[in-house]
Amino acid sequence: MDAALIKSLRPGKPSDLKPSDLKSSDPKTSDKKPTEARLPETRPAELDPSEFLAAAVRADQPRPSRHEAEAAVHTLLAYIGENPHREGLQDTPRRVVEAYDELYQGYHQCPAEVLDRTFGETAGYDDFVLVRDIEFTSQCEHHMMPFYGRAHIAYTPVERVVGLSKLARLTDIFARRLQTQEHLTAQIAAAIDEVLKPRGVAVMIEAEHTCMSVRGVAKHGAMTFTSRFTGMFRDNPAEQARFLSMVRGPNR
């Protein structure tokens, strides 16, 4: 087999194939089946722990002043052709900055602290815990436009469980940052996995993105689904199927 064909089978790694793996051109050995090249098992890329264990903004981190932030909004109003000084827009820069303080408060909150308090009185419970239909609103990091939907979170505790409301609070912390849906899904799963050390975590998010529904292709109602599985959910397809069945429910 020539080098070009080997390269087409294993792009960038022609040296990985040994001569014994290739089909011989010798008629005496031509009936032997070549060794199949197996793709390596892949695992999800690991996140930087700083993304999901601590607040994203340090208290001493240099930032523009509120006055500078309001001036930036004033500039944007002028950019779109508006008169920032007319009556209806005079307070808009202040209102926008105040809204941003609320919409992006997740940058100043610590995800790990939300999961710190756990309970050990579980009576030997050894199945997974599922909180379904956690509503959230986040902001797309590409266009800074909202996307919103529901998160479904399950984990299988080892000995201790966390309060159910904490999973909703955790979702809100990550959602109140600039996000992609894929990253939001991965961060929620990683935080639970790292802090609670469960046997496995399953996260599924369904959301509508306004950057797709009110601009661009303008497809209202189009839903995006993402999921992340760790531990027993990743390794056991039956557990994945059971989780998805419970998320969808009989009326979905």
Active-site residue, from 51, 82, 110, 143: 143
Active-site residue, from 179, 181, 187, 240: 181
Cβ atoms of 20 and 1 closer than 8 Å: no
Strands (E), 118-236: 118-119, 129-140, 146-156, 161-162, 178-179, 200-209, 224-230
Shared-domain flag, residues 95 and 197: no
User: Which tens digits make up the pLDDT trace of 196-246?
Assistant: 999 999 999 999 999 988 888 888 899 999 999 999 999 999 999 999 999
User: Which tens digits make up the pLDDT trace of 151-189?
Assistant: 999 999 998 899 999 999 999 999 999 999 999 999 999
Active-site residue, from 109, 139, 140, 239: 140
Shared-domain flag, residues 119 and 236: yes
User: Which tens digits make up the pLDDT trace of 210-224?
Assistant: 998 888 888 889 999
Shared-domain flag, residues 71 and 148: no
Domain of residue 87 covers 66-103
Q: What CA–CA distance (Å, rounded) separates 92 from 69?
A: 12
Does the annotation count 209 as an active-site position?
A: yes
Active-site residue, from 98, 135, 141, 182: 141
Tell me which of 78, 103, 128 is where a domain ends: 103
Shared-domain flag, residues 98 and 187: no
Active-site residue, from 139, 152, 209, 240: 209
Q: What are the φ and ψ backbone dihedral angles of 129, each rounded to 5 degrees?
A: -105, 130
Domain count, the chain: 2
pTM: 0.78
Shared-domain flag, residues 185 and 127: yes
Does the annotation count 141 as an active-site position?
A: yes
Does the annotation count 143 as an active-site position?
A: yes
Task: Tell me what pLDDT residue 24 has.
Answer: 46
CATH number at residue 232: 3.30.1130.10
Does the annotation count 211 as an active-site position?
A: yes
